[in-house]
Every structure is written in structure tokens, then in C-alpha cells.
Amino acid sequence: MIRYALKCEAGHGFDSWFQSAAAFDSLARAGHLSCAVCGSGEVSKSLMAPRVTSGEGAPAAPEAAEKTVPVLSNPPGDVEKALTALRKKVESTSDYVGKNFVREARDMHAGRIPERAIYGEARLDQARALVEEGVPLMPLPFKPKRQLS
């Protein structure tokens, strides 16, 4: 496993774990990465210092270990609280349609099926095509929880 410091085009910084450097590259090429703060699909590696350990597996400098506090250990801030509230609202008032999102959105827009609030998954090119067709949609700033259909 490898941890990368990442940033989006809006300058938001966050980090994530990947199985390997090749796994990161593959996910990035496929458009499966998004900013943890704003949902942007333009994500790249950020400059980061390597983690150096002594031969015993302990951090090389004790003061460096004290300074590295995982981001997720901080109490949730206003942004995190707002994202949590948005997720709860979306999940409680909408139907999760998963990878069928594009088809469902198109069918509703064309009047083939009744309109209802839905959320799901679409590639960036699919979402752009829907917008060009006039289908109203909004990218969510979080990835949907995987649900069994």
C-alpha cells in the first residue's frame, strides 16, 4: 500500500491510500478519482516528503513522528459537518440507482419514466453528455456508498 498526498484543481489537499503507484495511475486515467472536499475529478499527486524509518522500523526523528497527526483524527469542521448533512439528505430523499444513473436520468428527461429524485454514478464524459442534452444534474461532493441492488 502507498499513501499519496493529493490535490484538486481548486487547491484542496487530501490524502488517500492506493494498492500501488500503478493502481493510482490506472484510477486517474479512468477518471475514478475525485476531490474529497469539492468532488472535482481533476486530481493530481501533491508534493510530499518520504517517510523515512531507521533499521528498527521506528521513525528516524522523534519530532517528525510527533508532527504527523492523521488528518482524520481532527474533530470534524464546518465543511465536514455540511458534507455529512448533505449526504444524509441525499440518501434519505433520493433513490440510489448506481451505474444506471445515466439511463435513468435520460429516461426521466425524455418522459419515458416518472420523475423522481435519484443519485448514482456516471463517468465524467457521460455527465457532460447529459448536461449537453439539457438533463438537469448536479455532481455530488462525495462518492456514493456502495449499495447492493
Domain assignments of the chain as residue spans, ordered by start: 2-73, 78-132
Per-residue pLDDT at 37: 80
Distance between CA atoms of residues 132 and 136, nearest Å: 10
Supply the pLDDT for residue 49: 62
Distance of alpha carbon 104 from alpha carbon 98, whole angstroms = 10
Which positions ≥6 away from 102 have C-beta within 8 Å?
A: 122, 126, 129, 130
pLDDT digits (tens, 9 = 90+) for 97-146: 999 999 999 999 999 999 999 999 999 999 999 999 999 998 888 877 76
Residue 104 to residues 15, 82, 100, 111: CA-CA distances in angstroms? 33, 27, 6, 10
